[in-house]
Structures are given as structure tokens and as C-alpha cells.
């Protein structure tokens, strides 16, 4: 069964989970500062991936099918479901909203184009370019 959550529901879930994690960190570690990456000034500003080409020209419907297959299977390869949901929401948003989503979820952006990210526990999340932008050789029409 496919469950489609609104962007607001995803953001509220992320904020709720992040708040709980932050409170646990304060209690266990005795600190109330920013996360390590923000404190060090290494937060990467999100940008769209550089122009790229798919190995063969594909239609919009084929691109959407690839994206759906990726998002349906990605959580089965590790990481937390709420982080995958946040990454999907960020990938499908404009850059400003995407930045807000990853910041709220506590996602550590390794590559500014979101192709490589980590959560606060160190789990790795790799996103293919086809879920982040359209290829240059996209066949218009379908």
C-alpha cells in the first residue's frame, strides 16, 4: 500500500523527531549547543546537480518510473524511513525549502547536490541524480 504524506506532515514528523533527539543529547551529554556541523560552519548550501545525461534518452514517464522505483526501494537498503522521507521531500522541492527540510531533519549534507548525505547516527544516504534533476537528454512529450 502506498502512503502519500503531505509535505507539512513530513516536516512536522521531522521536527518532532529532531526535537526528541536534541533533548536526549542535552540530557546525556550536558550540552545545549548547535550540532557539530553547524558549530564548525561546514553546513553546505544545497544546489541542484550539475547538468548530466542519462545513458540513453528517456521520456518523462520513464524518468518518473525510475524515481518511484528508487524511493520505493531505498529504505530497504538501510537508514531510517523518516530520513528517506525527508530526502524525498527535499529532492522534490526548490532549493530554499530543501535546505530547510534537511536542516530540520538533522541531515548532514556531504555533497551540496544531495547525492551523498548522512544522518546524525552516521547512516549513509546516496541519491542518484535522476531523483534530483532531469537529464539533458530528456525526451519531451510523454
pLDDT tens digits, one per residue of 53-96:
888 998 999 999 999 999 999 999 899 999 999 999 999 999 99
Task: Output the pTM of the full model.
Answer: 0.69
Looking at domain 7-139, its CATH architecture is: Up-down Bundle (1.20)
Given this model, what pLDDT does residue 6 score?
59
Confidence of residue 41 (pLDDT cuts 50, 70, 90): very low
For residue 126, list its beta bridge partners: 116
Closest CA to 88 of 57, 61, 114: 114
Q: 3-state class of 35 per DSSP? A: coil
Query: Does position 97 have pLDDT exceeding 50, yes or no?
Result: yes
Backbone angles phi, psi at 59, to 5 degrees: -85, 165
Spatial separation of the C-alpha atoms in residues 122 and 104, rounded to whole Å? 16
* Least confident residue range of 43-47, 57-61, 98-102, 136-140: 43-47
Hey, what's the cell of 40? 564548525
Spatial separation of the C-alpha atoms in residues 21 and 126, rounded to whole Å? 23
Spatial separation of the C-alpha atoms in residues 65 and 83, rounded to whole Å? 21
Spatial separation of the C-alpha atoms in residues 74 and 56, rounded to whole Å? 23
Given this model, what pLDDT does residue 31 score?
35
Spatial separation of the C-alpha atoms in residues 16 and 59, rounded to whole Å? 38
Hey, what's the cell of 47? 544546489
Given this model, what pLDDT does residue 83 score?
97
Span 1-34, pLDDT tens digits: 444 555 556 555 555 554 444 433 333 333 333 3
Amino acid at each position: 500500500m502506498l502512503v502519500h504524506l503531505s509535505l507539512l506532515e513530513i516536516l512536522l514528523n521531522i521536527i518532532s523527531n529532531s526535537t526528541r533527539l536534541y533533548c536526549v543529547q542535552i540530557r546525556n551529554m550536558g550540552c545545549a549547543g548547535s550540532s557539530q556541523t553547524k558549530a564548525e560552519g561546514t553546513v553546505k548550501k544545497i544546489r541542484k546537480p550539475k547538468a548530466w545525461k542519462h545513458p540513453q534518452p528517456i521520456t518523462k514517464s520513464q524518468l518518473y518510473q525510475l524515481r518511484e522505483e528508487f524511493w520505493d526501494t531505498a529504505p530497504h537498503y538501510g537508514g531510517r524511513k523518516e530520513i528517506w522521507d525527508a530526502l524525498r521531500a527535499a529532492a522534490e522541492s526548490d532549493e530554499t525549502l530543501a535546505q530547510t527540510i534537511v536542516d530540520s531533519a538533522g541531515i548532514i549534507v556531504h555533497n551540496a547536490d544531495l547525492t551523498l548525505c548522512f544522518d546524525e547516527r552516521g547512516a549513509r544516504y546516496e541519491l542518484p541524480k535522476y531523483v534530483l534533476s532531469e537529464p539533458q537528454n530528456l525526451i519531451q512529450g510523454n
